Structure 1
Amino acid sequence: MRNHYSALSTHHLSSLLVICWCCCLSLLSGNPNASGAAATDSLVSGQSLRDGETLVSAGEVFELGFFSPGRSKNRYVGIWYHNFSANTVVWVANRNAPLADSSGELSFSPDGNLVVLTGAGTVVWSSNISVSAALPSNESSAVQLQLQSSGNLVLNISGATAWQSFDHPTDTYLPGMKIGLDLRTNVNQLFTSWKSEDDPAVGDFSVGIDPNRSTQIFLWEGTKPRWRSGRWNGQVFIGIQNMVPTYIYGFRLSNFLQEQKMYFYFTAFNSSHRYVLTADGIEQHLIWAADTKSWFRYFAEPVTACEHYNTCGKYATCTDQNSPICACMRGYVPAVESEWNGGSWTDGCVRRVPFLCDRNKTSVNGTAAEADGFWKMEQVKLPDLSDWYSDIVDADGCRRTCLSNCSCKAYAYTSGIGCLIWGVDLVDVHIFSSGGNELYLRLAGSELDQKKTTGKLFLIPVVLSAIVILSGCVYLCWRFRGRIKELPKKRSINRGARSVESSRGTEVITAELPGVIKIIDEEKDGECRELPLLSFDSIVAATNNFSYMNLLGEGGFGPVYKGMLAGGQEVAVKRLSSSSGQGPEEFKNEVILIAKLQHRNLVRLLGCCIDKEEKILIYEYMPNRSLDSFLFDARKKGFLDWKTRYNIIEGIARGLLYLHRDSRLRVIHRDLKVSNILLDEEMNPKISDFGMARIFRRDDNESNTKRVAGTYGYMSPEYAMQGLFSVKSDVYSFGVILLEIVSGMKNSTYLHPELSLNLLGHAWKLWNEDNVLEFVDPSIRDSCSLREVSRCINAGLLCVQDRANDRPTMSSVVIMLESKTPASYFPRQPTFAAERNLVDDTDSSTNEPGAVSANASITMLVGR
């Protein structure tokens, strides 16, 4: 028996060795087409790729092979996504020469070119590179084709890149690709649309850089402009409304001066971003949403009538919100009587009064003619065909240059670009609903007379009123001069220094020039912290004279600008509005509070400026701005996956816990809302805007105010109705924010279409029915953690209970959020009816979730 098994084993071993030897020969031959061969990303000379076989890039991101688009039966060689969206083709080789059947082959020609062959061996497509001579047979291994993880198909000959698909794009712009322009030959690298969804042949539309229009991206229909991006200012294309900087769009410009070439690179986060030019002429920025397994359209142009190139003709503006959308610029009239013609002014507008230099005379009817002037237009997509004056360094110089040239029609001085002057007709002018630039339109002096006359007429009553008031003040001072002398003189804190008192009377801010501001806490034996004091001139320089291009946002306190300090540090500059009645008090609070508070989830105050009537705060710059700009924008909320949202919720909770308990001050924010949550470059939350905040002593529990200041939708019932506020007021606001983050909906505007419930009532109903997933933002519903979502909604509903003492403290909220076990507290239904005693006399910190006060009346039972 042993010999039988021994003989059998020897026989099988011999067979196994033969099989292994054959496999080794197959592997050494490098044939990826052998049945059962592992996926590879490359071919070498002598190998080919037949229909039905594919190459897969490293990391399994992209795949190369044969495909049939849509309902077509034609076969093409293309590249598509392997790891997701396999039906999304990003590049096509033989787009104008399809194969009729599945007998095609991708191979190498004798001279090293990459070719697509029919079953009969006919070449239908070639990489068409110039090779001096056919490769010797012994150098065939020097030719290699590789599909890279970026989606770039690269042909290497003798170790050098001879051809790559990124240099021959079709309709898709992938991260790492470039839109290039050869400055010597003006040869443009274009992206071209498919003819239709079923036909990848070259269509009617193309995208690229216009050789005659500098740093603008153009979309053409044939040879006719269809849309343009506006000039590049170093961060954004100024002709795209509300375009955000490179951290989302991923563009950068590179000039290769030695090669005489200019490229726009697309450097997005990863391969899940792409731009595609559709067959109907729309350029789209698409982002893959893993939760919904679909492409999310983040950006598209042109989609409105005014976004189409020069819809209204020369010297006319186009405004999507107006009806009709076209209007002549000031000082211009329609070129023809029939103003409207099928949705566009085909002939545009003409100037009503010639410029002074065009009239060849300096007087009209014996009266000296007024000099030309400028009319400021705001929120403008600047006209096409401007000239850039690189030697002009300020707006005044730009204005003088335009005024000295009779052919100049308008000028603009924009951040990041400089002086632009138009010596040709003004075309393609779009008035944005927000954003845009200022355009100074040149007009004859008589076109500006109405404005000047109105100003003079308005000045007369103002001057007369001022004289009357001044006279009255002089009389009153003389009449009560005795009492004025008896008024006690205020003690000076520091001679020559500016001083500001806080509402508590225990904080003093002194601006000891130059260099620092001192925050003195008289309750802490004069403990002092120094804060940098910046000059107003340095703030003006940092913000480009508070340019609209630098504007980040605006609230009741005034505008916030992005700035760049002399050392290169990016900052956010909050300029207190002189028209805001709350402004000075907000300024005092923010300087006192934020200078003392240090936490990773609180925005950091870097310095301030006090100069005459100017009061300015300088903060660290948050590149992703505020949470609401993502959460409530259908185009951006895809960036907030569930993990990011949960981290934001936890970060806000920890920041509030620090304010309420862990800082040496006990601070109540009083205006906590989504727009006051800023996001840094890693999407970490930071609580901002402490203008309404109040400091409590450790033994204080609650307070009231006659001045209720906050934002409806986030204000607790006791604060909105009675002016009572405590740490539980912030807890209520946090609960609203938490539910908004989970749902992606705004409490102040949400109304259930059938049940007439607001967001809080809708959340309670679904939670009570064990249907919490229905409440979750659809964009994250498939990828979120049900346990974490349930825990968050439970915590949010506990926070928004009507009675302040029923709400948890922030320490309890943090424990709930970080716990891995289900919540053990159950909320009451928010009824939105405030009782008279909404904040009990007992310390709110002793009332944990679920505790019910002895004198509380339960009006509705929880049915969970």
Structure 2
Amino acid sequence: MGKIGIVFFASLLFLLIIFPSYCYAAITKANPLSIGQTLSSPDGSYELGFFSPNNSRNQYVGIWFKNITPQVVVWVANRDKPVTNSAANLTISRNGSLILLDEKEDVIWSAGENFTSNKCHAELLDTGNLVVIDDVSRETLWQSFENLGNTLLPQSSLMYDTVHGKKRVLTTWKSDNDPSPGEFSLEITPQVPLQGLIRKGSLPYWRTGPWATTRFCGFPQFDESYVSPFSVVQDVARGTGTFSYSMLRNYNLSYITLTPEGQMKIYWDDGVRWMHHLTLPEILCDLYGACGPFGLCVRSVTPKCICLKGFIPKSDDEWRKGNWTGGCVRRTKLSCQANSSMTTQGKDTDVFYRMTNAKTPDLHQVASFLSAKQCYEGCLGNCSCTAF
């Protein structure tokens, strides 16, 4: 009897140790994912399971980098509705949708789509993409890469489709301990060429500047020597655009995240620790409209605003107080503004002032001129054109 008791105790202890790290190959109706269990990508880079931010009582289904400390969560399913008890299952519904059920079998979260096939399974790919696949056709019915949170991984993308009124954006967590959507979002705009834009609520907060073949122009980090990991595809005729990024150098893992404070940060894993690659915005000068119309922000230890040549502060009093958002106004009107009936009069008196290290204005337009001289003459002859 003593030997039997020892064997039973050892077996029970073994089960208690391995149960929390038990890994499924796939999620099905017959094999749901429960609290304490995880699903790993085939190469072991990513892991899907339940987590609690800051050891709170709230449980969320998320994806994170496996075996990396501290834990970096890159996607959350039930952002708005955490599990608040000790039992829950992530499973496939009778209609083929990925759903999260609580202990009473009530739906906490759903992928939001029902499919005609009831023979489906969910698996986690080596890219970190959670997908629902039809077992018969092998078609991907749903994927987390098309339902982003606050993080962009290589092979995932931001997008817009103006014809169908669709866009894919990043949204911040409300705080580091609360993955529900915060007030900042990151998107790409349908301008030509497109640019990246962070919004605070509905208002512009920061922008990249327009895309210029291999990089975004308009700020010091992206000069001609910068090896850009970014990729942009824009189809003006179809009204679509995508933004993605690739691995840089030989780093195996990386991510772009949008923080609760509204900063876009890029990290690469060198095998030992996370390497910080880029943070934007960084200072006052990076913020949208920090110096107002025709104002220029001087990047220094203490950033400040100045007016462009030929302009003066709109309000001297506000300018002295350090409130620069009102911007600047012209000292004198342009010749074409003084006599709007003569659209070419400005050619004789109006001139352009060359500027360097300045971001292209937000409301830019692409003009089909063959040379810089033609662009100069075309802009000078158009009173609504203020720079080129």
Pick the TM interval, shorter chain.
0.7 to 0.9
Corresponding letter in the other structure for 1:195:
K
- Amino acid in the other structure paired with 1:315: F
Counterpart position of 1:29: none
In the alignment, which residue of structure 1 is the partner of 2:222?
243
Q: Distance in 2 between matches of 1:312 and 1:146?
A: 49
Q: Determine which of 23, 31, 37 is the counterpart of 1:47.
A: 31
SS of match in other structure, 1:42: coil
The answer (yes or no) to whether the contact 1:250–1:266 under 8 Å persists in 2 is yes
Deviation larger for 221-230 or 210-219: 210-219
Counterpart for residue 203 of structure 1: 182
User: What's the offset of the Cα at 1:35?
Assistant: 6.1
Say whether the 8 Å CA contact 2:91–2:99 is kept in structure 1. yes
For structure 2, the residue ranges without an aligned partner over 5 or more in a row are 1-17
1:231 aligns with 2:215: no
Compared CA separation, residues 258 and 129, structure 1 to 2 (3 A): farther
1:604-650 Cα shifts (integer Å, max 9, x gaps): xxxxxxxxxxxxxxxxxxxxxxxxxxxxxxxxxxxxxxxxxxxxxxx
- One-letter code aligned to 2:41: S
Choose from 334, 353, 357 the match for 1:379.
357
After TM superposition, the score normalised by the length of structure 2 is 0.87
In structure 2, the partner of 1:283 is: 264
Go from structure 1 to structure 2 and tell me whether the alpha carbon gap of 1:116 and 1:36 turns closer, same or farther (over 3 Å shift).
Answer: closer
Report deviation, 1:183: 3.0
| 1:106-255 map, 5 Å | 106-131=90-115, 133=116, 135=117, 140=118, 142-157=119-134, 158-212=137-191, 214-243=193-222, 248-255=227-234
TM-aligned CA deviation for residue 129 of structure 1 = 1.4
Is 1:74 the counterpart of 2:58 in the alignment? yes
Number of the residue aligned with 2:86: 102
CA distance in 1: counterparts of 2:301 and 2:352, whole angstroms? 24
Which protein has the larger Cα radius of gyration, Structure 1 or Structure 2? 1
User: Who is 1:356 aligned against?
Assistant: 335
Q: Deviations over 1:262-319 (max 9, x none)?
A: 111211145421111111111101122433x3x2221101111101111010011001
For 1:125, give the aligned amino acid: W
Matches within 5 A, 1:443-462: none
Q: Which runs of 5+ in 1 are unaligned?
A: 1-33, 363-367, 412-864
* 2:358 counterpart SS class: strand
Query: Which protein has the bigger strand share?
Result: 2
What pairs with 1:127-526 in structure 2 (closer than 5 Å)?
127-131=111-115, 133=116, 135=117, 140=118, 142-157=119-134, 158-212=137-191, 214-243=193-222, 248-255=227-234, 260-269=239-248, 270-291=251-272, 293=273, 295-321=274-300, 325-340=304-319, 343-360=322-339, 370-389=348-367, 391-411=368-388
| 8 Å CA contact retained: 2:219, 2:357 | no
CA distance in 1, matches of 2:257, 2:303: 31
Which of the pair is proportionally richer in helix?
1
Q: Distance in 2 between matches of 1:257 and 1:376?
A: 30
Per the alignment, in what secondary structure is the counterpart of residue 116 of structure 1?
A: strand
Shift of 1:242: 2.9
1:186/1:211 contact within 8 Å kept: no
Structure 1 Cα separation of the partners of residues 320 and 38 of structure 2: 54
Relative distance call for 1:187 and 1:297 in structure 2 (3 A) is: same
Deviations 1:791-826 (A, max 9, x none): xxxxxxxxxxxxxxxxxxxxxxxxxxxxxxxxxxxx
8 Å contact kept, 2:220–2:357: no
Per the TM alignment, residue 379 of structure 1 is displaced from its structure 2 partner at its CA by 1.6
Deviations 1:18-52 (A, max 9, x none): xxxxxxxxxxxxxxxx9699734322333200000
Q: Secondary structure at the match of 1:375?
A: coil
User: How far does residue 352 in structure 1 lie from its aligned partner after superposition?
Assistant: 1.0
1:188 Cα deviation (Å)?
1.8
Question: Quick check: 1:313–1:344 contact (8 Å CA) kept in 2?
Answer: no
Distance 1:145 1:123, change over 3 A: same
1:408 Cα deviation from its structure 2 partner: 1.2
What is the distance in 2 between the residues matched to 1:356 and 1:163?
Answer: 59
1:351 offset after TM fit, Å? 0.8
TM-superposed deviation, 1:250: 1.4
Distance 1:369 1:216 in 2: 32
1:561-603 deviation line (CA, Å, top 9, x unaligned): xxxxxxxxxxxxxxxxxxxxxxxxxxxxxxxxxxxxxxxxxxx
Task: Indicate how the Cα distance of structure 1 residues 164 and 247 shifts in structure 2: closer, same or farther if over 3 A, else same.
Answer: farther
CA 37–356 in structure 1, closer or farther in 2 if over 3 Å, else same: closer
The match for 1:464 is none
Aligned to 1:44, what secondary structure does the other structure show?
coil
Distance 1:122 1:264, change over 3 A: same
261 and 246 in structure 1: CA distance in 2 versus 1, 3 angstrom threshold: farther
Deviation at 1:71, TM superposition (A): 4.2
The separation in 1 between residues aligned to 2:247 and 2:321, in whole angstroms, is 40
SS in 1 for 2:112: coil
Q: What is the DSSP-based 3-state SS (H/G/I as helix, E as strand, rest coil) of the residue aligned with 2:140?
A: strand
Q: How far off is 1:375 after superposition?
A: 0.9
Shift of 1:83: 3.4
Query: Aligned equivalents of 1:246 and 1:74: distance in 2?
Result: 46
Alignment of 1:694-733 (within 5 A): none
Report the CA distance shift for 1:305/1:86 in structure 2 as closer, same or farther (over 3 A): closer
- Contact 1:316 / 1:348 at 8 angstroms: preserved in 2? yes
- Three-state SS of the structure 2 residue aligned to 1:396 is helix
Percent identity, please. 33
Q: Residue 371 and residue 236 in structure 1: after superposition, are their counterparts in 2 closer, same or farther (change >3 A)?
A: same
In structure 1, distance between residues paired with 2:224 and 2:141: 34
Q: Answer yes or no: is the 8 Å Cα contact 2:210–2:216 preserved in 1.
A: yes
Identify if the C-alpha distance between structure 1 residues 147 and 394 changes in structure 2 by more than 3 Å, giving closer, same or farther: same
Residues 123 and 213 of structure 1: is their aligned pair in 2 closer, same or farther, counting only changes over 3 Å? farther
Instruction: Give the superposition deviation at 1:239.
Output: 2.3
Give the Cα–Cα distance (whole angstroms) in 2 for the partners of residues 342 and 309 of structure 1: 19
Write the letter of the residue equivalent to 2:262: G
CA contact (8 A) 1:95 1:201 kept: yes
